[in-house]
Chains A and B, each alone.
Chain A
Amino acid sequence: MGQRFHGRFSPTDIVMWLIGGGLIFLAIWGAIATLSAGVYSARHWIDFVIFGLAQGSIYALIATGYTMVYGVLRMINFAHSEVFMSGPYTAYFVAAAFYRSGFLDAHPIVSLLFIFIVSMAISTGIAFALERVAYRPLRNAPRLVPLITAIGASFFLQYTFRGLYGSGFQAYPVFKMLEGHWTILGIRILRFQLVVILAAVLLMLALYSFVMRTRIGKAIRAVSEDKEASALMGIDVDKMISMTFVIGGAAAGAAGVLYAVMFKQVHFFMGFIPGIKAFTAAVLGGIGNIPGAMLGGIFLGLMESIGPSLFLDGLGIVAPYQLKDAIAFTMLVLVLIFRPTGILGERLAVKKA
């Protein structure tokens, strides 16, 4: 019995669990202290949740791109953050032209749709070309090679866009229709946040049913299970891998417009931080798993918004929002200690990697 126990849990495991337990204890202690201090009213907490959901749904959309590519190729596409940047940055020029001509204020829905289409088209194109030029020739190379290539591609795209559009930033025009707030069931919610959350949920549902319900989706899932066997079954593996990049790129392009609606500023380096966060979200949810990535994104967004106030304020930490990234990454550490495969992750590590 003792032997078996010893075999199953190494000393490292025990240390990790102690660290994890300590962090959880600190979090609970901080939360209790904050709540008993009573500085925040229920309305503040609802605001935090809504802000977190809006930010999290953008992370979730980007994270699906990371997770799908990992699912089929077992590689992390670090250039995905540039795929995310390329769409909204290009679509800015469309938005600015609409704004100058007055079309944006006259037909806000049409112009928003058009901005979405442009952004998604550019991001999709970049993702498709990226796979074709940078990753396909390395399909059979050792796993480290495409990873390094991805980092190189990321820099290449960043500086290409810097060369194209300049090193400064641009600011999206204001969509008057989305300014102000609605009150739903006594809860005050900013209009564009509701739109961002709804749009993200719709897109994620569409993406999920595409992967689960259509023939192409089925083929993509088959390729991610076993490339050789699906090739033998008559599936065009190269085409399916391209398809994966196309879907991930479209999701990133859409996420980019939602980001621009929420934050207005776009520049060549804008993809870096959301990209890192979305990658974290994908790992948090269990990389390779689409619902996991979505869940991870929303969880991360919520933690960034609520976490500093809930956990750190009660511990008497000054200026807690400086540490919101630390909270996000601590969550990642906690999940990886107690569930190394992520929240919804399968045991990929043993089976395929």
Chain B
Amino acid sequence: MKRTFALVLALTFVIGIAVFASNAQAADPLGDVKIKKDEPIHIAYWFVVAGPDASLGEDTKRGVEIAVDDKGGKILGHPIKLSGQDTGCNAEGGQAAATKLASDPTIVAAIGSNCSSEAKPGVPILWKAGIATVSPSNTAPYLTDPKRGPEYDGYLRTAHNDKVQGAVAAQFAFKKLGVKKAATIHDGSVYAEQLQAVFAEEFKKLGGTITSQEAVAPTDTDMRPVLTKIATGKPEFIYYPIFIAAAGHITRQVKEVTGLEKTNLMSADGAFSPDFYKAAGETAVGMFHSSPDFSAFAGGYKDFLAKHQKKYGEKPIAPFHAHAYDAATMVFAAIEKVAVKGKDGSLTIGRKALRDALYATKGLKGLTGTLNCDKFGDCADPRIAVYQQTAENIKKLENPQVPFWKPY
């Protein structure tokens, strides 16, 4: 009995000293990631790679993979290890993916998420574990809002803020198409809800009328009743910045509803994908989408497209591949800046230092433009254009290449 007690006491001492020593060593307030010689630097993505919105995640995943290839697969002599979690384009999926990533201490930084609904619960979980994340496609204004709270301190994005996209859509509808009455539909997601709100506000400011702001569930299939309700307000324009499955149902069904046969339709970047043309079929001909202006991208974008074609045998399938490439480039640059090399060939990366380095990104030349991060993590240089769908590109299941209208 006495001997056991002595043993426990001794063990406690040893552990206590070890803990104390390791604490004393850690210069970074959020802890360090230590990478031994020849061990990989682990970067994780959290994208929606399954389900109806998989094209969005697959597209960004490819952007990251090409960035890794361009880097030669190595940072500071250590191989890059890429792993990922599916996020499902909803809050629950984002939370689950973030929890899985947060439990893995080898992860240095994350790239994601795709849908803003995933980021809202997911980012605080990652940041609690000290993992900073750069999103290539979250666009909801809330995520970089000054009032978002300290739990979002580890969050940055290379995607545009929807304050820009919503305003472009409203200006396009009012000035270019000359419509005076518009209706909006959202799906309860952070992205759609905020984007249609920005649109409605700007449209009213320009002098237009919003006849109704409706909502559906992302899993709804029968949109005819809600469209009938919208038809009672006789709008000339319907703006539904939602995701592929529900947007496809609305596009197909809108022409079947009395009073909406000639209404102009517009969606946004969340449904700007060949999968959407599959979902909506020929009924999408003539409708509009707002999306990043690919023609305004930097010179390197052409090379990127050639590599993409070679590696995956097709053109990009959603709008955010270049943003993902830039997000990865930003993460690599920040790691190179803060990683401390040990004598034994190891690397030490401070989590807080990495986050600060990401936020300090200034004048980084990316594919989407020059990245300058502000103090809330908005790094993009947004150029949003409006595209129109033609019978030709829908038949070929490809995104249109030339913008229909630009605000600048």
Residues of A within 8 A of B (CB): 39-40, 43-44, 47-48, 51-52, 55, 162, 167-171, 174, 181, 188, 190, 259, 262-265, 267, 269, 272-273, 304-306, 308-309, 313, 318-322, 324-325
A342 to chain B, nearest CB (A): 24
Chain B residues with CB under 8 A of A273: 219, 221
Asked if B281 contacts A44 (CB within 8 A), the reply is no
- CB–CB A48/B282 < 8 A: no
Q: Are B51 and A269 in contact (CB under 8 A)?
A: yes
Min C-beta distance of A179 to chain B, whole Å: 9
- In the assembled complex, 26 residue pairs joining A and B whose CB atoms fall closer than 8 Å, in A order, are A51-B225, A51-B228, A55-B222, A167-B49, A168-B52, A168-B275, A169-B52, A169-B279, A171-B278, A262-B221, A264-B248, A264-B252, A265-B249, A265-B279, A267-B52, A269-B51, A273-B221, A306-B225, A308-B229, A318-B213, A319-B215, A320-B229, A321-B220, A321-B226, A322-B217, A324-B220
Any A CB within 8 A of the CB of B232:
yes
| Residue ID in chain B nearest A267 by CB atoms | B52
Q: Are B225 and A171 in contact (CB under 8 A)?
A: no
Q: List the 3 closest A-B pairs by CB distance, nearest first.
A: A319-B215, A322-B215, A321-B226
Q: Which of B216, B228, B279 contacts A322 (CB 8 A)?
A: B216
In Å, the complex CA distance between A174 and B255 comes to 14
B228 near A48: Cβ-Cβ < 8 Å: yes
CB distance from B192 to the nearest CB of A (A): 11
- Closest Cβ neighbor of B277 among chain A residues: A171
Residue numbers in B under 8 Å from A304 (CB-CB) = 222, 225
- B54 touches A (CB below 8 Å): yes
Residue B204 at the chain A interface, CB threshold 8 Å: no
Taking CB as reference atom, which chain A residue is nearest B246? Answer: A265
* Given A169-B52, A263-B249, A273-B219, A51 contacting B279 (CB threshold 8 A): no
Chain A residues closer than 8 Å to B216, beta-carbon distance: 321-322
Contact B215 A321 (CB under 8 A): yes
- A309 partner, pick from B229, B252, B281, beta carbons under 8 A: B229
**Interface size of B as a range:** 35 or more
Interface positions, chain B 165-208, Cβ under 8 Å from A, are 186, 188
Other A-B pairs, 7, CB within 8 Å; known A167-B49, A188-B258, A265-B279: A48-B228, A168-B52, A263-B222, A264-B279, A269-B51, A308-B229, A319-B215
Distance in Å: Cβ of B189 to nearest Cβ of chain A: 11
Contact A43 B222 (CB under 8 A): no
**Is B50 in contact with chain A by the CB < 8 A criterion?**
yes
Chain A min CB distance to B357 (Å): 36
A307 nearest CB neighbor, chain B only: B225
A55 and B226 alpha carbons, distance in the complex (Å): 14
A262 to chain B: which residues have CB within 8 Å?
Answer: 221-222
Bound: A86/B53 CA distance, A? 21
Q: Does B238 contact A (CB under 8 A)?
A: no
Q: Which residue of B lies closest to A44 (CB)?
A: B228
Q: How far apart sit A318 and B232, CA to CA, in the bound complex (Å)?
A: 15
In the assembled complex, how far is the CB of residue B85 from the closest CB belonging to chain A, in whole angstroms? 14
Q: Is the pair A309, B256 in contact by a Cβ cutoff of 8 Å?
A: no
Q: Could you say which residues of chain A place their CB within 8 Å of the CB of B229?
A: 308-309, 313, 320-321
| Interface flag for B224 (CB, 8 Å) | yes
Q: Which of these, A48, A190, A263, A272, contacts B225 with CB under 8 Å? A: A48
Residues of A within 8 A of B249 (CB): 263, 265
Q: Which of B219, B226, B248 contacts A171 (CB 8 A)?
A: B248
CA distance A267 to B279 in the complex (A): 11
Q: Which residues of B contact A320 (CB under 8 A)?
A: 229
Partner of A308 from the list B225, B252, B257 (CB cut-off 8 Å) is B225
B214 interface residue (CB < 8 Å to A): yes
Q: In the assembly, what is the distance between CA of A43 and CA of B336, in Å?
A: 66
Among B186, B220, B225, B258, the most chain A Cβ lie within 10 Å of the Cβ of B225
